[in-house]
């Protein structure tokens, strides 16, 4: 039974968030069939038991479908919140004075506790506090060790535990809270493939998380703070991938600044050969409606035209009424965009920083050769996955088939553009590698008799980081006989 080996026939990947609307093996299987390539488990919600159940269900579906599946565990990060109010809420009028303090007395229309002592030192007069996803805007007038006095610029109802964003300062908070550290340990023990790091402000945040992960999973840095945009190149150097987290970014930046920021993040990630995920509100109306707005369809298409590696669904697949339809819609948009004759021209619009290494030269050559001779696939043997990621970086016009002996390497490929991963036994020599590449190209139906494929590999074998061979082979169609 080899149906599971057949690739999807599209390059961009679909990342679906799991939640109450998609918490059974049957439903995860349905999302996979509809087009999901990777699954996000949000560590902010649920109990350790429920998150463990999600991970076990994904692995059960992986087993029944015979296809490596990717799990991203998304850490919550430090959420800044106001305290509680005497009546559960209060109304703030425009132009009124309001104070955030350290007193545990329930709040009212003039004050409330802000249980984050770090903010009292960090905030300066003139800085803004945005409450409840930016619905309320307060500007700091003066700061004392235990009181922040503000003027209400945009008033409204403020209620218990609403979130606070402070876009104008780098908050002296680590990206990992004690809860995140516990969640991280849990996620690594349960064998997830990617860790999503929230609230990244500085490269140091990524370095610290890297150290804690210790190579057990790949690290995706979520760009949701203006401070991160200022140090994007350094953050990208340290992360394995990035996410354009447009929800929080759109609270902290004026909304009109989010599209240029998205383009910049996608272009820089691509230039550095790091996968980039575009996320949040992509098909938001499909939470309640079976069809999206035209603007949402256009938004998803734009991310794909820009060459994003993956597009993500949040509440649409986690809590909405139409999770399978939302995934199908993403899949349909992606196929349509990739079928556009102008697509590859658009995707190659981003210039790549020339890699210095032999491996970079090899993957660039493979992409170029496959174009010239009309090859049907680029096949690479890789242990760590770096060869496949390099080939993906060149956005070759043909699919990349990644053959790896490591299931962990195959699973990580679920966020990488155009890569189809298959777990296969390691090869001992060059001839064996060529034979296996031919067999797998036929078996996955990426190529048939008479087609050419381009191989990238490293000799000697099983030595990571030695990509030094590009080899062209033509298939006879007889390769599957006797296997």
Residues assigned a catalytic role: 40, 81, 222, 280
CA 186/CA 190 separation, integer angstroms = 6
Two structure tokens written together for 128: 């803004």
Two structure tokens written together for 362: 């090899």
CA dihedral 56, 58, 64, 70 (to 10 degrees): -130
Nearest to 411 by CA among 67, 75, 51, 25: 67
Q: Give Dmax (Cα) for the chain.
A: 82
The DSSP bridge pattern shows strands 400-404 and 377-381 to be: parallel
Quote the crossing angle between the two packed helices 25-34 and 48-65, to the nearest 10°.
Answer: 50
Query: Tokens 């992409």 belong to which residue?
Result: 367
Query: Tokens 């990244």 belong to which residue?
Result: 200
C-beta of residue 277 within 8 angstroms of C-beta of residue 15: yes
Q: List C-alpha distances in Å: 124 to 121, 129, 141, 231.
A: 8, 11, 8, 22
CA 412/CA 6 separation, integer angstroms = 18
CA 154/CA 92 separation, integer angstroms = 8
CA 222/CA 418 separation, integer angstroms = 22
Sign of CA dihedral 195, 196, 200, 203: positive
C-beta of residue 466 within 8 angstroms of C-beta of residue 389: no
CA 367/CA 259 separation, integer angstroms = 30
CA dihedral 251, 257, 263, 267 (to 10 degrees): -90
Q: For residue 99, count other CB atoms closer than 10 A to its CB.
A: 18
CA 269/CA 116 separation, integer angstroms = 33
CA 112/CA 270 separation, integer angstroms = 44
CA 260/CA 266 separation, integer angstroms = 10
């Amino acid at each position: 039974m080899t149906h599971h080996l057949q690739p999807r026939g599209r390059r961009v990947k679909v990342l679906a968030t799991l939640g109450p609307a998609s918490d059974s093996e049957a439903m995860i299987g349905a999302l996979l069939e509809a087009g999901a390539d990777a699954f996000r488990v949000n560590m902010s919600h649920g109990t350790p038991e429920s998150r463990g159940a999600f991970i076990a269900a994904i692995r059960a579906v992986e087993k029944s479908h015979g296809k490596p599946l990717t799990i991203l565990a998304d850490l919550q990060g430090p959420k800044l919140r106001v305290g509680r109010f005497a009546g559960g809420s209060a109304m703030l009028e425009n132009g009124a004075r309001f104070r955030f303090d350290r007193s545990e007395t329930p709040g009212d229309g003039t004050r409330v506790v802000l249980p984050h002592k770090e903010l009292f030192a960090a905030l300066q007069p003139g800085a803004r506090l945005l409450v409840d996803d930016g619905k309320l805007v307060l500007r700091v007038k003066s700061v004392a060790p235990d009181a922040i006095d503000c003027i209400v610029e945009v008033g409204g109802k403020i209620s218990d535990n609403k979130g606070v964003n402070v876009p104008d300062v780098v908050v002296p908070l680590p990206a990992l809270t004690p809860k995140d550290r516990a969640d991280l340990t849990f996620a690594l023990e349960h064998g997830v493939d990617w860790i999503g790091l929230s609230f990244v402000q500085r490269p140091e945040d990524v370095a610290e998380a890297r150290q804690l992960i210790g190579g057990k999973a790949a690290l995706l840095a979520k760009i949701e703070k203006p401070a991160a945009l200022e140090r994007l190149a350094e953050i990208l150097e340290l992360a394995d991938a990035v996410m354009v987290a447009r929800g929080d970014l759109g609270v902290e930046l004026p909304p009109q600044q989010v599209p240029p920021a998205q383009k910049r993040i996608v272009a820089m990630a691509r230039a550095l050969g790091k996968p980039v995920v575009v996320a949040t509100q992509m098909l938001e109306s499909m939470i309640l409606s079976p069809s999206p707005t035209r603007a949402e369809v256009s938004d998803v298409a734009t991310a794909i035209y820009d060459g994003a590696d993956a597009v993500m669904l949040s509440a649409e697949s986690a809590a909405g009424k139409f999770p399978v339809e939302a995934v199908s819609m993403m899949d349909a948009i992606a196929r349509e965009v990739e079928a556009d004759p102008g697509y590859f021209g658009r995707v190659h619009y981003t210039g790549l920083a020339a890699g210095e290494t032999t491996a970079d030269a090899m993957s660039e050559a493979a992409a170029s050769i496959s174009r010239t001779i009309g090859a049907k696939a680029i096949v690479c043997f890789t242990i760590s996955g770096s060869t496949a990621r390099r080939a993906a970086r060149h956005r070759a016009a043909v699919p990349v088939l990644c053959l790896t002996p490591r299931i962990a390497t195959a699973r990580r490929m679920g966020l990488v553009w155009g890569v189809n991963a298959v777990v296969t036994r390691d090869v001992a020599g060059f001839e064996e590698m060529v034979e296996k590449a031919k067999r797998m190209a036929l078996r996955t139906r990426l190529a048939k008799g008479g087609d050419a494929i381009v191989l990238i590999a490293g000799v000697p074998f099983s030595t990571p980081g030695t990509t030094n061979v590009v080899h062209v082979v033509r298939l006879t169609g007889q390769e599957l006989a006797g296997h």
